[in-house]
Amino acid sequence: MTTATVAAEPDFYHEKTRFKGIFGWIFSTDHKRIGILYLIAIITFFLTGMTIGVLMRLEMLNPENTIVTAQTYNMFFTLHGIIMIFLVLIPVFPAVFGNFFLPLMIGAKDVFFPRLNLLSWWLFMAGGTLALVSLFLPGGAADTGWTFYVPYSIRSNTNIIPALMAAFILGFSSILTGLNFITTIHRMRAPGMTWFKMPLFTWSLYATGWVQVLATPVIGITLLLVTIERLFGVGIFDPTLGGDPVLYQHLFWMYSHPAVYIIILPAMGVVSDIIPVFARRTIFGYKFIAYSSLAIASVGSLVWAHHMFTVGMSNTGMFMFSLLTFLVAIPSAIKVFNWVATLYKGSIELEVPLLFMLAFIVQFSIGGLTGLMLGALSVNIHVTDTYFVVGHFHYVMFGGTGFALFGALHYWFPKMFGRMYKKRPAFFGWLFMTVGFNVLYFPMLILGYMGMPRRYYHYLPEYEYLQRIATVGSWIMVAGILLLLINLIVSLRRGDKAPANPWGGRTLEWTVSSPPPMENFHEIPVVTTGPYDYSEYEKLSSDQS
């Protein structure tokens, strides 16, 4: 691969742009600047969602009232869900890391539709602002849960319409990003970069792009219909007008289950890219990982009704959805086994990004296995709508994607900002976050199995002990997260200057300087080797043994 470009040349932060100051950013079509804009917005939303989450845990400290009223608690869990899912988890990997690194990884100068990319960001900000503004409008924040189930979402007097419209606009933004990435991957790979020489993060963005394009419109139309129903009283889902609320649930999950694959697939791609770098080994089973992304994306689109086993469905339907749910576990497990096999006999360097990946593997496995329990019909009926479900999806969404997010942030921080972070605080931040996470969510699995229902404001005294452990866990985790973020912010100015390739990565983004120049590559690189070519290390280790 080519060496780093000359240091004297301005990076994309300092390159002259058409507009000055902030306008040079919010009107920039440069994929790297758009990625940074998304990062700032999403970290802000994440901190908002996290604060609400901490307040919810604080309320659960006592079986009776602690700090807020029941209505406020309803708003809390609704907002926590809307913010974390629609504003953080769904956009974070495609919009932040996909934007910044997809063109770099495939040797392109930008995405295929740069102006459309900027439009996606504007739509995202419009949707995000609308969601946050709806909190302060008279009427109060939505209190339906992030699922907006009818008929309550038609009857509730809170600001449902702004929240629905926000989700609709965010969906539109997500569709445009997915469309852009699919086209980019098809048309803009550097010469020599065949499909099977692409980094696996790129593969996962490709699979995710298809889910974004094909699943998001379903929730778009569904939320639009609820809005029309609220505004004009048209009978569509309202049972008093003959509508079928269960049909709403089907349509909602037709998107929202694939959405969890929008959330987890790129995270898996990041894991597949980071592990080989710190194990100094070629990824084990490259093609299996690439194909399993596509398998998860396609089979995962057919399992939606496993969220609805208790609402009434034919036995054949229940059987099929349960079976398909079990089938999705196969490609997911293939990935986990391949990651572990990659680590085996590698020359492991325990840097912070790898620590996050190891936590990901363990926590995602717990999340996946509890997911299988939920996919089994008999167990599902026992634990539906309990803390078991809450624990399960936090293990996948946060223990998986959330940890991959922090791992990716530390892995690519030198490339994005041109500085190294301080390693000791980052290590302790990881430690607190991991310990806190498990102290917070593992008790939820037990509580759910004991029968603690989700979204309840009061609970029976017998749950108090575990509820309190979980609340303490939330404090430890937040301490870790804050330590990690403060460390990164301090390192922006005080960190050592980062070299072009601090970790010894083999993918193309490490061949340009840190931070990259405005046009990425002066000459489009010609790719001859695969993305994880560590043959010299592997030769070394086999010589020693």
Partner 1 sequence: MTTTAMEHSHRDDVGSRMGLWLFLFSELILFGGMFIIYAVYRFKHPEEFRLAASELDSFIGTLNTIILLTSSLTVAMSITAIQRDKKYFSMALVVTTLILALAFLVNKYFEWAHKISLGIYPQSPDLVNKPQGEILYFGLYYVMTGLHALHVIIGMVVLAVMVVFIANGKINQHTFVRLEAGGLYWHLVDIIWIFLFPLFYLIQ
Instruction: Tell me which residues touch partner 1 (CB under 8 A).
Output: 108-110, 112-113, 116, 175, 178-180, 182-183, 186-188, 191, 213-218, 220-222, 225, 228, 232-236, 241-244, 247, 251, 254, 523-524, 526
Of 111 and 279, the one with the shorter C-beta distance to partner 1 is 111
Please give the span between the terminal C-alpha atoms of the chain, in angstroms, as a whole number.
Answer: 29
**Any idea of the CA torsion for 302, 306, 307, 313, to the nearest 10 degrees?**
110
Helix H or strand E segment including 274: helix 245-279
Distance CA 358, CA 361 (A): 5
Taking the complex as a whole, the smallest distance from the CB of residue 321 to partner 1 amounts, in Å, to 16
Q: Which of 94, 69, 170, 105 is nearest to 532 (CA)?
A: 105
Residue 422, SS3 per DSSP: coil
Distance CA 86, CA 70 (A): 24
Taking the complex as a whole, the smallest distance from the CB of residue 108 to partner 1 amounts, in Å, to 7
Residue with tokens 């085996």: 344
**CA 423 → CA 234, 385, 526, distances in Å?**
58, 41, 34
Q: Which two tokens stand for residue 271?
A: 């894991």
Of 251 and 433, the one with the shorter C-beta distance to partner 1 is 251
Residue 139, SS3 per DSSP: coil
Q: Which of 411, 1, 414 is nearest to 201 (CA)?
A: 411
Of 170 and 218, the one with the shorter C-beta distance to partner 1 is 218
Q: Is 530 in contact with 197 (CB distance < 8 Å)?
A: yes
Q: Which two tokens stand for residue 350?
A: 């325990």
Of 193 and 359, the one with the shorter C-beta distance to partner 1 is 193
Of 248 and 393, the one with the shorter C-beta distance to partner 1 is 248
Q: Is 218 in contact with 254 (CB distance < 8 Å)?
A: yes
Taking the complex as a whole, the smallest distance from the CB of residue 483 to partner 1 amounts, in Å, to 41
Distance CA 146, CA 405 (A): 22
Taking the complex as a whole, the smallest distance from the CB of residue 176 to partner 1 amounts, in Å, to 8
Of 111 and 265, the one with the shorter C-beta distance to partner 1 is 111
Residue with tokens 């398998």: 295
Taking the complex as a whole, the smallest distance from the CB of residue 195 to partner 1 amounts, in Å, to 16
Of 98 and 276, the one with the shorter C-beta distance to partner 1 is 98
Taking the complex as a whole, the smallest distance from the CB of residue 240 to partner 1 amounts, in Å, to 9
Q: Is 307 in contact with 253 (CB distance < 8 Å)?
A: yes
Taking the complex as a whole, the smallest distance from the CB of residue 221 to partner 1 amounts, in Å, to 4
Q: Nearest 5°: CA angle at 364, between 360 and 366? A: 125
Q: Is 18 in contact with 24 (CB distance < 8 Å)?
A: yes
Of 142 and 176, the one with the shorter C-beta distance to partner 1 is 176
Of 74 and 153, the one with the shorter C-beta distance to partner 1 is 153
Of 113 and 456, the one with the shorter C-beta distance to partner 1 is 113
**CA 162 → CA 31, 109, 131, 172, 232, distances in Å?**
29, 37, 7, 15, 16
